[in-house]
Chain A
Amino acid sequence: MTYAFLQHYWCFVVALLAALLVFLMFVQGANSLIFSWGRTEDERRLIINSTGRKWEFTFTTLVTFGGAFFASYPLFYSTSFGGAYWLWMIILFSFVLQAVSYEFQSKLGNLLGTNTFRRLLVLNGVLGPLLLGGAVATFFTGSNFIVERENIIDGMATPIISRWANASHGLDALLNPWNVVFGLAVAELARTLGILYVMNNVADENLRSRGSVRIIGTSLGFVVPFLVFLGHVLLGEGYAVDPSTGVVSMEPYKYLHNLLEMWPLLVMLVIGVVFVLYGIVRTIVSPTYNHGIWPAGFGTVVTVTVLLLLTAWNNTAYYPSTADLQSSLTMANSSSSEFTLRTMFWVSLLVPFVVAYIAYAWAAIDRKEITLDEINHDHAY
């Protein structure tokens, strides 16, 4: 295993974790619809109890994504989290609210009332995917930061290596309309997946029939901005890296070139998109089909993985700087040492085992669809 292989491998792992996170945000997506999709108290409880059995996975994937990124690309961790401070803080704040809301919302003595905690679930359901999508879009559009390693020793105003180049500390990312467009696409994708998941998981005809109509709107809300963003990215300039010098420069059609030069990714992208559309369209047209979450979920994971790999593989700067092009982060200039990546490689071989027991436990819990009778007589949120 060469250092370059390990850098590519860990980039893939991080991209895959991010893609799984986007898939698992069906939890947020469904939660954002608690009050509009669920019209009665029973329906709202069914939605909450459906996503409530999976929220830990979303949370854990977010934390593992952060940990893996930290371990494999620490300069990204320090630059993005320390720089885009407000953006990340708002995201984290919304996830804190979500974590407790499930457990607290229906309990006696919750002080703030059931609906307060349900509204917090909605808030996280909207803000989480929207802002995470916006943050991911910066991998294509760039961020306003400067990296200077010499600061630690050269007696600058502060010895801090990475800094944001303006005072907004990440909020400026939301002023870029392309980031917002992608954020909206992710938010509506999460809603679409949320509807698909609950339809598959909950035995309630009212939710299912209204879900198959509601999904038309959320799907359009996802597909249109996604295609607009994809078109903009593929036809615009990208951040290329000269592998011999490490110099970053703008290259027209860079991401399109990446897609064509790494043709297996193009094939995967097409497969991913087809699976997502298949899951959605079949759910809309077939009144008895409730398993759309699986093809759509698989397609989401594949598509997002490919999109993220486009930003890093094939000599591309995955976290570009709009303030100073040469501060842009590449796999080569921001990864951990070869020793650490290799050590972590062996640890990552545990992942299939982890995936296997998750699948087994998930299947054991979801073997029977959730019913009103069950949540009235068994442990429930």
Chain B
Amino acid sequence: MNLLSIDMTMVDWARAQFALTAIYHWLFVPLTLGLAVVMGIMETLYYRTGNQFWKETAKYWQRLFGINFAMGVATGIILEFEFGTNWSNYSYLVGDVFGAPLAIEGIVAFFMESTFVAVMFFGWNKVSKGFHLASTWLTGLGATISAWWILVANSWMQYPVGQEFNPETVRNEMTSFLDVAFSPVAVDKFVHTVLSAWVLGAVFVVGVSSWYLLKHRHTEFATKSLKVGAIFGLVASVLIMLSGHHSAYTVAQTQPMKLAAMEALYKGGTDQPLTIIAAVNPFKQPDFENDDEPPMKLSVPYALSFLATNDIHGQVPGIRDILDGYTKADGTVALSLEQKIERGRCAITALQEYRKAKKDGAPEEFLATLGAEIKENMPYFGYGYVKDRSQVVPYIPVCFYAFRIMVGGGCLFVLLFALSLFLIYKRKIMEVRWFHWAALLCIPVAYIVSESGWLVAEFGRQPWTIQDMLPTWVGVSHLGSGAVMTTFFLFLILFTTLLAVEISIMCKQIKKGPEL
């Protein structure tokens, strides 16, 4: 077989381009999701009280929402079509399963969002108060439903359920829509992601409001916005801790290699501690084959076992365990990498024979035998394209540090929101200048934390486009690296320019303030 003679430079550029687009997209979407709730709450207060203050407050946050919304839409369209342009093999092999959530997202969510966002912006003097309020909430609901379906699609890539390989068509085909739409990974990912977006939106509101307090401008507006943001943020932060724990548990069950990379856990076992920090070289893949653990490791005893298994004595496999094979707590054996590669190649060979036999008009019984062999080995199909051990281990430094930034940032924001509410309760929120600065500085931190979450999820999945079934280098399009590199830089320049423009406009709007 000559299956591995692919231009790996092209694969890297295709990955880089998708990562670039996704990173930019994820700069804008969380604020859209978070602000949608904040402005919904404020407009509801206007609807219930009739107080013009809340109307202008809602309109102010809607203006910032609008500036951000356009960039989210612009970067989102590229993402959808990049599946086809840069990942054509992937699109064919799993389009039968993966395409459905994207189509539903368009029909159910995007139209809701685009219809009511126009009413929200242009309908203040054209529709009733109730219809306008409904439009504001429906805009947010549309964005959230959109998140649901795209995360269903993403989760399926992490945990491919509800499907079966069809040797006749040489692709994976859906067998259960409900399994795809409500897989435990999808539920966890949706809850965790949307909550993280709410936290970012709340940090943004608290930070911007603090800037007004720092400048002694629009103090009533700032104090009340800060209060709404802090309550909303604290609720979201507490919920995200619960969902984070559940997400870690699900990752441990479905993607143990990702968890091992997040923890830089080279050799696992029972009673595993959770690493708080360690000196993992950020620029080099650690020597996981020989080292027992990263240097200068500071950890919490038993915490990783609890996180991964809900039992402080639970077993957590390390990278070497996963590569070499190990016996699970329930007595079953996890295959070694070599065994998985063997099974993957069996699947490919059986598929070759099946296709040839079918063409030659072989009897049905023979085809059925080959079909059974394909089915038995298909869970390891992707390993048939793997050459060596290093290919199946994600880049540990990114997973390790991104995970810590995500968790650390989450804890910081709990503190921020709790402190905000404490200062409001003590009626000192107008005076504590260091808090205003801290809250303001938390805005860029929130973006870094949010992007870190994305990095953990996606870097940890590497090298798979579909976990265990399709490595990145088999999912690409037939393109030269030059073409993809060119579009990478075109989009880099375009998105960076537009980001600079957006930040500039956003700052001007904030300086201008609400029309109160």
Hey, which bits of chain A sit against chain B, CB under 8 A?
53-54, 56-57, 59-60, 62-68, 70-72, 74-75, 77-83, 85-86, 88-89, 92-93, 95-97, 99-100, 102-104, 107-112, 149-150, 152-164, 167, 169, 336-337, 339-340, 343-344, 347-348, 350-351, 354, 357-358, 361-362, 364-365, 367-368, 378-379
Contact A347 B81 (CB under 8 A): no
Q: A89-B487, A96-B77 are in contact. Are A107 and B89 (CB under 8 A)?
A: no
What is the bound-complex CA distance between A150 and B353, given in angstroms?
Answer: 11
**A102–chain B nearest beta-carbon distance, Å:** 7
Q: A82-B88, A152-B170 are in contact. Are A163 and B509 (CB under 8 A)?
A: no
What is the bound-complex CA distance between A368 and B135, given in angstroms?
Answer: 19
Contact A343 B174 (CB under 8 A): yes
B131 in contact (CB, < 8 A) = yes
Contact A153 B105 (CB under 8 A): no
Contact A162 B478 (CB under 8 A): yes
10 residue pairs bridging A and B, Cβ less than 8 Å apart: A64-B107, A70-B98, A75-B92, A77-B92, A95-B74, A100-B498, A159-B385, A162-B88, A343-B177, A344-B100
Report chain B residues within 8 Å CB of A362. 115
What is the bound-complex CA distance between A54 and B85, given in angstroms?
Answer: 27
What is the bound-complex CA distance between A57 and B113, given in angstroms?
Answer: 10
Number of contacts between A and B (CB, 8 Å)? 294
Contact A53 B483 (CB under 8 A): no
Contact B100 A66 (CB under 8 A): no
| A59 interface neighbour in B75, B114, B351, Cβ under 8 Å | B114
**B312–chain A nearest beta-carbon distance, Å:** 43
Name the segment of B63-71, B280-288, B289-297, B453-461 touching the other chain. Answer: B63-71
Name the segment of B118-126, B298-306, B335-343, B387-395 touching the other chain. Answer: B118-126
Q: A96-B74, A104-B502, A365-B122 are in contact. Are A67 and B103 (CB under 8 A)?
A: yes
Contact B81 A85 (CB under 8 A): no
Contact B95 A77 (CB under 8 A): yes
B332 in contact (CB, < 8 A) = no
Contact A104 B70 (CB under 8 A): yes
Contact A158 B114 (CB under 8 A): no
Report chain A residues within 8 Å CB of B235. none
Report chain A residues within 8 Å CB of B509. 107-109
Contact A155 B73 (CB under 8 A): no
| A56 interface neighbour in B73, B91, B170, B497, Cβ under 8 Å | B73
**A96–chain B nearest beta-carbon distance, Å:** 4
**A345–chain B nearest beta-carbon distance, Å:** 11
Contact A60 B110 (CB under 8 A): yes
What is the bound-complex CA distance between A74 and B6, given in angstroms?
Answer: 23
B500 in contact (CB, < 8 A) = yes
Report chain A residues within 8 Å CB of B477. 78, 82-83, 85, 160, 162
Contact A339 B107 (CB under 8 A): no
Q: B473-515 vs A: 1/0 string, CB under 8 Å?
A: 0101111100100010010001001101110110111001000
Main secondary structure on B side of the interface with A: helix
B116 in contact (CB, < 8 A) = yes
Q: 7 more A-B contacts (CB under 8 A) besides A100-B74, A379-B122?
A: A66-B106, A96-B78, A160-B88, A337-B174, A344-B103, A351-B107, A354-B111
Q: A74-B95, A361-B135 are in contact. Are A82 and B170 (CB under 8 A)?
A: no
Give the residue name and chain of the B residue nearest to A339 (CB).
B174
Contact B122 A82 (CB under 8 A): no
B325 in contact (CB, < 8 A) = no
| B89 interface neighbour in A78, A96, A109, A378, Cβ under 8 Å | A78
Contact B99 A67 (CB under 8 A): yes
**A335–chain B nearest beta-carbon distance, Å:** 9
Contact B75 A96 (CB under 8 A): yes
Give the residue name and chain of the A residue nearest to B349 (CB).
A153
Contact B81 A156 (CB under 8 A): no
Give the residue name and chain of the A residue nearest to B110 (CB).
A60
Contact B107 A169 (CB under 8 A): no
Contact B175 A109 (CB under 8 A): no
Contact B119 A365 (CB under 8 A): yes
Contact A99 B174 (CB under 8 A): no
Contact A74 B99 (CB under 8 A): yes
Give the residue name and chain of the A residue nearest to B97 (CB).
A340
Main secondary structure on A side of the interface with B: helix
Give the residue name and chain of the B residue nearest to A359 (CB).
B115
Q: A67-B80, A96-B75 are in contact. Are A159 and B3 (CB under 8 A)?
A: yes
Contact B80 A109 (CB under 8 A): no
Contact A340 B124 (CB under 8 A): no
Report chain B residues within 8 Å CB of A93. 490, 494
Contact B125 A82 (CB under 8 A): no
**B24–chain A nearest beta-carbon distance, Å:** 10
B431 in contact (CB, < 8 A) = no
Q: A70-B95, A93-B490, A163-B478 are in contact. Are A83 and B80 (CB under 8 A)?
A: no
B102 in contact (CB, < 8 A) = yes
Give the residue name and chain of the A residue nearest to B94 (CB).
A74
Report chain A residues within 8 Å CB of B480. 167
Contact A364 B88 (CB under 8 A): no
Report chain A residues within 8 Å CB of B502. 100, 104
Report chain B residues within 8 Å CB of A357. 112, 115
**B165–chain A nearest beta-carbon distance, Å:** 11
Report chain A residues within 8 Å CB of B77. 59, 62-63, 92, 95-96, 99
Give the residue name and chain of the B residue nearest to A343 (CB).
B177
Contact B114 A60 (CB under 8 A): yes
What is the bound-complex CA distance between A100 and B500, given in angstroms?
Answer: 12
Interface residues of B in 385-430 (CB under 8 A from A): 385
Contact B127 A364 (CB under 8 A): yes
Interface residues of B in 201-230 (CB under 8 A from A): none
Contact B505 A109 (CB under 8 A): yes
**A380–chain B nearest beta-carbon distance, Å:** 8
Closest A-B pairs by Cβ, 6 of them: A74-B95, A82-B88, A81-B84, A64-B106, A56-B114, A71-B99
Contact A102 B70 (CB under 8 A): yes
What is the bound-complex CA distance between A368 and B97, given in angstroms?
Answer: 44
Q: A74-B95, A154-B352, A155-B3 are in contact. Are A164 and B126 (CB under 8 A)?
A: no
**A28–chain B nearest beta-carbon distance, Å:** 14
Q: B261-284 vs A: 1/0 string, CB under 8 Å?
A: 000000000000000000000000
Report chain B residues within 8 Å CB of A379. 59, 121-122, 124
Contact A60 B2 (CB under 8 A): no
Report chain A residues within 8 Å CB of B474. 152, 159
What is the bound-complex CA distance between A347 and B77, given in angstroms?
Answer: 22
**B5–chain A nearest beta-carbon distance, Å:** 6
Report chain B residues within 8 Å CB of A82. 84-89, 91, 477-479
